[in-house]
Amino acid sequence: MSTEDPQAPWLRVHPASPFVQGWIAILGLIFIYLQNTRELSFAERFAQERLPMTALIGGGLLLVILLVYFLSWYFTRYRITATHVYVNTGMIFRSQKQARIDKVQSIEIAQPLVARLLGLAELRFDVADGSSSVLRLSYLKKDEAAQLRRQILTLAHGQQPTAAVSVDTVDTPVPDIEDERQLVRVPPGRLIGSFLLRPGAIIGALLTITLLVLTIVGVGGFAAGLFPALLGFGGWFYKELNGGWNFTASVTDTGLRVAYGLTDTKQQSVPVRRVQAIEISRPWLWGSLGWYRMQINVLGTGSGDDGSESTTVVLPVGDVHAVAQIMGILLPNLGVAEQREVLLTALEGSGEQRGFTVSPRAARIFSPWAWRVQGFAVTPTTLITRHGRLGRRATFTPHTKVQGTSWRQGPLDRRRALATVRVHSAGGTVLGELEQIDSAVAAEFFEAQAQRASER
């Protein structure tokens, strides 16, 4: 397929695609059939007088399903030209979607369970043209999907592929645009370990034990109330586990790519220029293990399917080395010479080392443990904030990504000449916060930040 050709051919997706999307319907039909003929034994279904009936129902249903599947497949077509991706679906209610290739932000490869069993994959295009829905192309063979992804990303970067890239022949060597190098891999054992040491998991475990004890003792009333809570916890547990299972982070030429998933393998590209803020945190029980978690604010990766602002996890658990590597990709220029030392100071330091300003003694009454830790540092490129004594947290916000600054002073703060300044960025919940700093320092920072925002 020549990519310059505006009349590129329409192609069809893999013939098994309707099955991947509709296998549940087949299961449903079989279930209904079995439900309605429950009184019959297996032998009876195929006995003399019932055989034609069973065959007729079975055959008819199979035919209908196959026909629907065939039509669904027949009417699903896609086309990739030099400028656009088109996806047409639907027989009666037709939908024609298109996306401009130069607006494609990232392409995710997703593999639901059945698709994975069949070696198929879905391409999800995240397009920055204001449309909230994600363009999906499902399903292709895994290799084809990966190749198509590379090809479209090549086009999106405004380069022409050096070799004629064919979608049909997998053998053709593809110029590796996304020269990927795996940075971090999270082993399942570490993920589970890190998970069990999080406050949420501990509360959940206590809840489960309470529930068990109460049930054994025979107090049923409590169990009824705890059960929904436990279900909710289970959902959270699964979501967290799924979001970190087999987690890998790799370097691409535009930034970082993360892949994860227990039943669904999801991939997500994080272009460096769309990263708005970074948060590195360490729940208090992780302390002795030297583990950290990283999440970022990023614009338009379509990580939330509803298009909402959601924070993206770029490292569910990892050591300082992994953190430093990912930081090196996402925020290569901290604006200081000794980046690693500053990073370590932000993660583990306290007091006024390496340009940090912490809360004054007056804040001690409000934060008896954290007051020497909570603070901030301003480098030429980035605002760094640091929080917490037992559970640590540090945020990094590049000055160019700051959307607004707020200053806040409650009555108690006023009596102790303290104030809190917050620095807002887009694309997630990571917030740069200068907690309980001296009000003169806060005023000075507020002014300086306004100055930096205008310079950019």
Partner 1 sequence: MEPLPNNFVAVDPRYLTVRTISWALTSTLVLLVALIPALLGLLGAPIPGWLRLTLPLLVVLFALLELILLRRRVAAIGYLERDEDLLVRYGLLVRNQRAVPYGRMQYVELKSGPLERRFGLCQLVLNTAASAATATILGVPAAEGEALRERLVAAGEARMM
- Which chain residues interact with partner 1 by CB under 8 A? 299, 309, 402-411, 414, 417, 419, 422, 424-427, 431, 439-440, 442-443, 446-447, 449-451, 453-454, 456
Nearest-10 Cα torsion for 324, 325, 331, 335: 50
What's the min distance (Å) between Cβ of 416 and partner 1? 12
Please, which residue, 300 or 349, has the CB nearer to partner 1? 300
Nearer to partner 1 by Cβ, of 172 and 406: the residue is 406
Minimum distance of partner 1 from residue 367's CB (angstroms): 18
Tokens coding 350: 């306290």
Let me know: does 294 contact 313? Beta carbons within 8 Å. Answer: yes
Structure tokens at 71: 């039509």
3-state secondary structure of 36: helix
For residues 88 and 138, give the distance between their C-alpha atoms in angstroms, rounded to a whole number: 11
Burial category of 38 from C-beta neighbours within 10 Å (exposed 0-12, middle 13-18, buried 19 and up): exposed
Q: How far is the CB of 421 from partner 1 (least distance, A)?
A: 9
In the complex with partner 1, the residue whose CB is nearer, 48 or 454, is: 454
- Residue whose pair of structure tokens reads 């007088």 in the numeric block: 49
The Cα 354–Cα 338 span in angstroms is: 10
Residue bearing tokens 């549940």: 24
The residue among 160 and 406 lying less far from partner 1, judged by its C-beta, is 406
User: b/e per residue, 169-178, with b = 16+ CB within 10 A?
Assistant: eeeeebeebb
Pick the closer one to partner 1 by CB: 106 or 138.
106
Integer Cα distance of 203 and 159 in angstroms? 52
For the bound state, the minimum distance from the C-beta of residue 160 to partner 1, rounded and expressed in Å, comes to 28
* Nearest distance from C-beta of residue 306 to partner 1, angstroms: 15
Nearer to partner 1, 392 or 401 (CB): 401
Cβ distance to partner 1 smaller for residue 38 or 456: 456
How buried is residue 277: exposed, middle or buried, by Cβ count under 10 Å (0-12/13-18/19+)? buried
Pick the closer one to partner 1 by CB: 380 or 410: 410
What is the chain's alpha carbon radius of gyration, rounded to the nearest angstrom?
A: 28
Q: How far apart are CA 384 and CA 311, in angstroms?
A: 18
Amino acid letter for position 198: R
Nearest distance, CB of residue 284 and partner 1, angstroms: 27
In the bound complex, what is the minimum distance in angstroms from residue 359's beta carbon to partner 1?
Answer: 16
Distances in whole angstroms, Cα of residue 159 to Cα of each of 47, 101, 162, 178: 66, 12, 9, 13
Residue 428: CB minimum distance to partner 1, A: 9
| Cβ atoms of 295 and 126 closer than 8 Å | no
CB 279 within 8 A of CB 295: yes
Min dist CB 436 to partner 1, Å, is 14
Q: Which is nearer to partner 1, 353 or 400 (CB)?
A: 400
